Amino acid sequence: MEAQTSESDIDLNDLLPVAEAAELLKVSPQTIRRWQTQEGLRQIRFSRRLYTTEQDLKNFARASTLQHQTFDEQTQQSIAELDQLLGEGTK
């Protein structure tokens, strides 16, 4: 269930490298890649690298929280922090 997008569908300024996405949620880059290939987090390939967007990450985190209420406390806190960071960026 891999959600992929071509680079012409998105503003390049919105790209979030896998490593940065992992830092935001305090998970490993491998976890982000697994979410992209198996869990439906949108995967954007550009210049042979993988990206997502902050909005896609935020939507995925919210959907995952609703579907899987068993996230550990640290992951729940990371999701809340991400939501706060992204919420401030849209004001």
Model confidence pTM above 0.85? no
Query: Across residues 72-90, what is the average pLDDT?
Result: 74
Does 60 score more than 80 pLDDT? yes
Give the domain ranges of the chain: 4-89
Query: Across residues 6-10, what is the average pLDDT?
Result: 57
pLDDT confidence bin for 1, thresholds 50/70/90: very low
Among 20-24, 54-58, 65-69, the minimum mean pLDDT is found in: 65-69
Give percent of the chain with pLDDT exceeding 90: 15
What topology is assigned to 4-89 in CATH? Answer: Multidrug-efflux Transporter Regulator; Chain: A; Domain 2 (1.10.1660)
SS (H, E, C) the chain: CCCEECHHHCCHHHEEEHHHHHHHHCCCHHHHHHHHHHHCCCEEEECCEEEEEHHHHHHHHHHHHHHCCCCCHHHHHHHHHHHHHHHHHCC
